[in-house]
Structure 1
């Protein structure tokens, strides 16, 4: 009888081990353009609050300068500042730019987290969903498995595609970048902190809540890391300056490797995001030109 029970215990242990091995690193990034710390304080976002309640939330993360869109999203995804990656404004193109990057790949692009993952994790699957067409210009598309641009500030179809991509690739390491610009455009059209801007944040929160609910139903929620990142805040109907309303933004993360620290005031920069992603995926060899710093205190 003891031998039989011992065999059962061994089999159960093996089963749990196999299940653990079937949970590859998975990250879903929610990117909300123009979402300021001030906007966070003045809007209602119950789904974001619930999602990151047991993780890490910074409301004092600094954008890179200038506090505009393309330099900051490029910094998120390349572990570097504009002085390194060369994207200093929203008019950057591969063919026409003022500042050359420190290094490039064969096609002329600065090394992104997508390149790093593809070269170090051959079975990784990467998706990029966006609704501002210029956003992807600094990124070499050859490192992306799925790309979707949604027109007219739409975001709901990209949420659907992101969910489908995660489910389809549940057995692979997976990184999904899900970006929404309609929050930023509300700020430009109506003004930061206007009712319309606040409504845009709350709409984005509702979309996040729906995607999270679907992931919970699919059984993939508990093994997924989630990030909330943004690029800059705003003042009046613009941004690009150095006011605190433009230069303080939310940054949040939760997942199997992340501590429950709640609200933190640790120094953090948009340049750090790619280093966090590399750590989650177990990649240690990073481009020497990356200047971000890994916030080790958020990891278990």
Structure 2
């Protein structure tokens, strides 16, 4: 697997967009809405080889990394918690997929009044009190680390279903088009395909392509309602895989794609500075004019913004 290769990355997403050009920022210099397109278990090689025009188009419209590092261990719950709390397991205390508030043996460095480590949703509600937040998912433990009182809508689908969550997310964005809005839109089916058939198997690549079709429909609905061009998008994943598993320290497991696009973000820009799943929450909060919480360890990736 090749990662961090500038020439490869530049040609992979070449869509005729001038490199480092910047779409207009909103007039008040604050994001209108941010949507996190989140797929579980996407390795760099799988992302590159899958036919995923919607995701790759989104990446070319913004700044992207093919060398983002995940936190250890390279498993699901610690890394999604890190994405959404700006911190590693040593801070938030989620070290494995069996974690729940009731069985946590390692205390987080800080907890809110309900016993949860502060998430980006909590920080957003304080930074932007009118912000509307939504969380759509299909792997039940995923919501355990987050205080649900900071989520205006939360929808869970069983059995790897995810298509209707894209529709629900669209309806939520449409309903709150005049509010600052943040949506976390997640599916685990790609990870399950890797476990069942193997990472880089035909079925694994198909699972990415199937997700991309739903993402394309979702994007088209946003365009029809004039809700696409002024939206920031983040593409997130939590780990890669090797064989039929993950959790180790190989590059195939620990290095993943990551991307951001939208007003004020450089376009067709390859991120060369070190990036980590812990940087997602600080980046998101920064888009709304907020600063990372003192206990967070992630940082804002300054290079994606014009100097």
* 2:54 aligned with 1:54: no
Q: Structure 1 residue 20: deviation in Å? A: 4.8
Q: Is the counterpart of residue 153 in structure 1 residue 160 in structure 2?
A: yes
Report whether the alignment pairs 1:287 with 2:290: no
- The answer for the alignment partner of 2:262 in structure 1 is 255
Q: Distance in 1 between matches of 2:150 and 2:236?
A: 21
Of stretches 182-191 and 255-264 in structure 1, the one that deviates more from structure 2 is 255-264
Higher helix share: 1
3-state DSSP of counterpart to 2:229: helix
Q: In 1, Cα distance between the equivalents of 2:227 and 2:32?
A: 11
Query: Secondary structure in 2 aligned to 1:221?
Result: coil
- For residues 249-276 of structure 1, give each alpha carbon's deviation from its aligned partner in whole angstroms, at most 9, with x where no partner exists: 0101100021124333321000000000
Displacement of 1:187 in angstroms is 0.4
CA distance in 2, matches of 1:182, 1:28: 19
Distance in 2, matches of 1:150 and 1:257, equals: 34
Is residue 32 of structure 1 aligned with residue 55 of structure 2?
no
Match of 1:108 in 2: 115
CA contact (8 A) 1:131 1:149 kept: yes
Q: Give me the whole-angstrom Cα distance separating, in 2, the residues matched to 1:51 and 1:293.
A: 23
Q: 2:243 aligns to what?
A: 236
Query: Is 1:192 the equivalent of 2:191?
Result: no
Given that 1:62 and 1:247 are in contact with CA atoms closer than 8 Å, whether structure 2 keeps it comes out as yes
Equivalent residue number for residue 13 of structure 1: none
Contact 2:71–2:82 (Cα < 8 Å) also in 1: yes
Q: Residue 153 of structure 1 contacts residue 182 of structure 1 at CA under 8 Å; is this kept in 2?
A: yes
List gaps (5 residues or longer) in structure 1.
Answer: 1-18
Q: Distance in 1 between matches of 2:27 and 2:177?
A: 13
Q: Which runs of 4+ in 1 moved over 6 A?
A: none
Say what the alpha-carbon RMSD is for the aligned residues.
1.4
- Structure 1: distance between partners of 2:92 and 2:83: 11
31, 45, 49: which one aligns with 2:52: 45
Q: Which residue of 1 aligns with 2:74?
A: 67
Instruction: State how far apart, in whole Å, the 2-side matches of 1:52 and 1:241 are.
Output: 27
Q: Which residue of 1 aligns with 2:274?
A: 267
Distance in 2 between the 1:37 and 1:132 partners? 22
Give secondary structure in 2 for the equivalent of 1:222.
coil
How far 1:97 sits from its partner (Å)?
Answer: 1.5
CA apart distance, 1:24: 5.4
In the alignment of these two chains, the number of paired residues is: 281
For residues 31-90 of structure 1, the C-alpha deviation after alignment (integer angstroms, 9 at most, x for no partner) is 000011121122111111212212111110000000000000000000000000000000
Determine if contact 1:261/1:298 at 8 Å carries over to the other structure: no
The equivalent of 1:142 in structure 2 is 149
Query: Matched residues in 2 for 1:126 and 1:264: separation?
Result: 28
Which residue does the alignment assign to 2:303? 297
Larger radius of gyration: 1
Counterpart in the other structure of 1:10: none
Asked whether the 8 Å contact 1:86–1:101 carries over to 2, the reply is: yes
Matching of residue 178 in structure 1 with residue 178 in structure 2: no
* Alpha-carbon distance in 2 for matches of 1:20, 1:213: 25
Instruction: Pick the aligned partner of 1:92 from 82, 91, 99.
Output: 99
TM-score scaled by length of structure 2: 0.89
Normalised to the residue count of structure 1, the TM-score between the two structures is: 0.91
